[in-house]
Chains A and B, each alone.
Chain A
Amino acid sequence: AQSVTQLDSHVSVSEGTPVLLRCNYSSSYSPSLFWYVQHPNKGLQLLLKYTSAATLVKGINGFEAEFKKSETSFHLTKPSAHMSDAAEYFCVVSDRSSNTGKLIFGQGTTLQVKP
């Protein structure tokens, strides 16, 4: 079975400081991992994805994530938070057991950015 666990339900940072959102995964297969962001009243937007190429993945809006197989982690980082980064973030794994490509979402991390 595949799953993701987001280690923090809520993260609060000050504008201009680094962001770290933590995610651990469990997968019997070589995983495809994603981070999606959901702003209030808006759809899910893909931030970045890992599909077994480079372990350091760069995404949109200055976000990046590092795939660490030894730690089964895929943490999301950004060097400097912006007020517009305040949103819900989801770590996601693609289910490769059924060949449908369905996504398995974590519980989400709410990022608060304080001025």
Chain B
Amino acid sequence: DTGVSQDPRHKITKRGQNVTFRCDPISEHNRLYWYRQTLGQGPEFLTYFQNEAQLEKSRLLSDRFSAERPKGSFSTLEIQRTEQGDSAMYLCASSLVGGPDTQYFGPGTRLTVL
């Protein structure tokens, strides 16, 4: 299967710890997105990459959040000094510039901050 993959699927951490999530998009896709979904809500946009360039960040992305896509392939999302309010599902999606504007989603990483 060559869909979007995310790792880990679940992460439990204590408040104040740092966590890092990884997303591997569909191989030929040059657009990559991160979204956050809290319980009972629809996903909200966090940030967007085209190839290795981070072109947009939401105001939801505080200074404690950083995302990278160093070689234009996989991406990482790091949260420093986690807070209980960071508990959510973190979703990654990818799509192709110039192709159909359809985003394909990974299974998500569920973060629980104790």
- Using CB atoms and an 8 Å cutoff, list the residues of chain A in contact with chain B: 32, 34, 36, 42-46, 49, 51, 90, 92, 94-95, 98, 100-108
Contact = CB atoms under 8 A, between A and B. Distances in A.
28 contacts: A34-B102, A43-B4, A43-B106, A43-B107, A43-B108, A44-B93, A51-B100, A51-B101, A94-B101, A95-B45, A100-B31, A100-B48, A100-B50, A101-B48, A101-B103, A103-B33, A103-B35, A103-B45, A103-B93, A103-B103, A104-B45, A105-B43, A106-B42, A107-B41, A107-B42, A108-B40, A108-B41, A108-B42
Interface in B41-60: 41-45, 48, 50, 55-56
Contact of B42 (A32, A45, A90): A90
Contacts of B44: 105
Nearest to B5: A43
Given A98-B56, A102-B33, A102-B48, A44 B101 contact: no
B104 A101 contact: no
B111 to A, nearest CB: 15
A31 to B, nearest CB: 11
Nearest to B91: A44
Interface residues of B, number: 26
Contact of B95 (A42, A45, A101, A107): A101
Interface of B: 4, 31, 33, 35, 40-45, 48, 50, 55-56, 91, 93, 95, 100-108
A29 to B, nearest CB: 12
Contacts of A103: 33, 35, 43, 45, 93, 103
3 closest A-B pairs by beta carbon, nearest first, are A105-B42, A44-B105, A43-B107
A100 B32 CA distance: 10
Contacts of A107: 41-42
B108 A100 contact: no
Nearest to B103: A103
Contacts of A51: 100-101
B108 to A, nearest CB: 6
A92 B44 CA distance: 11
